[in-house]
Amino acid sequence: MKKIFGSIICMCIMTVTFFACFFGIKKMEVKSYDTHMYEIQSRLKDLGYYNGAINGVYDDATVVAIKKFQEDNGIYVSGAVGGVTANALGINMSEQESYDLYLLAKCIHAEARGEPYIGKVAVGAVILNRVASPDFPNSIYGVIYQPWAFTAVHDGQIDLDPDAPSYQAATDALNGWDPTYGCLYYYNPSTASSSWIFNRQTVVTYGDHIFAI
């Protein structure tokens, strides 16, 4: 009887743990709230581009509305709101915010081109995690251009124009989505040349990249 009771308790704990992990991961996939997004959605709604709720969430409906607005106004269609789009909407976005988004999108495009979308966001998250870490420069520019930190900077791919998914991934990362759970490193095991990186603790893998702490 005790064995049966113990087994039931064990199964319950495993079930609760499974659902906690599952829903925790799903929660990470929801677009985060953006302080500018309320105003962006409101302006898009006033202009007839957006019919959803003014909730501050950068969701698919908001992306579609932004893209349509950009297309109609001769702005590069990315689905992300940088300085040009913000100005066209009559929204005051600082030059630094716009530049940070652009830099992050450039690095994501250069480093994670061809990777799954979550892998692109993950690269952006690693950069932002480094900005927040005392062991790295405290700005997006400083982290990206830290000597030998990113292959794409060294070989010039950083100069490629970012595409729409890269802008969206940068926006998601800046809005707080971190699918790496705090990682500071990532690498491609097929191309990594430093044995040091293989000693980092692996947290998650997306596409060809391993993310580690």
Hey, is 134 helix, strand or coil?
A: coil
In DSSP notation, 135-173 reads TS-SSHHHHHTSTTS-HHHHTTGGGSPP-HHHHHHHHHH
Q: Which residues contact 103 (CB under 8 A, 6 or more apart)?
A: 140, 141, 144
Tens of each residue's pLDDT in the chain, 213 residues: 444 444 444 444 344 333 333 333 333 333 334 557 888 999 999 999 999 999 887 788 988 999 899 999 998 777 777 777 888 999 887 777 888 999 999 999 999 999 999 999 999 999 999 999 999 999 999 999 999 999 999 999 999 999 989 988 998 898 789 999 999 999 999 988 888 899 999 999 999 999 999
Q: How far apart are CA 73 and CA 59, in angstroms?
A: 21
pTM above 0.95, yes or no: no
Nearest to 104 by CA among 129, 134, 85, 77: 129
pLDDT value for 20: 34
Q: What residue ranges define each of the domains in the chain, with the CATH number in brackets? A: 32-97 (1.10.101.10), 99-212 (1.10.10.2520)
Type of residue found at 182: G
At 185, is the secondary structure helix, strand, or coil?
Answer: strand
pLDDT at 172: 87
How many Å is the Cα radius of gyration of the chain? 20
| Phi and psi angles of residue 22, each rounded to the nearest 5 degrees, phi first | -60, -50
Q: What is the reported pLDDT for 96?
A: 78
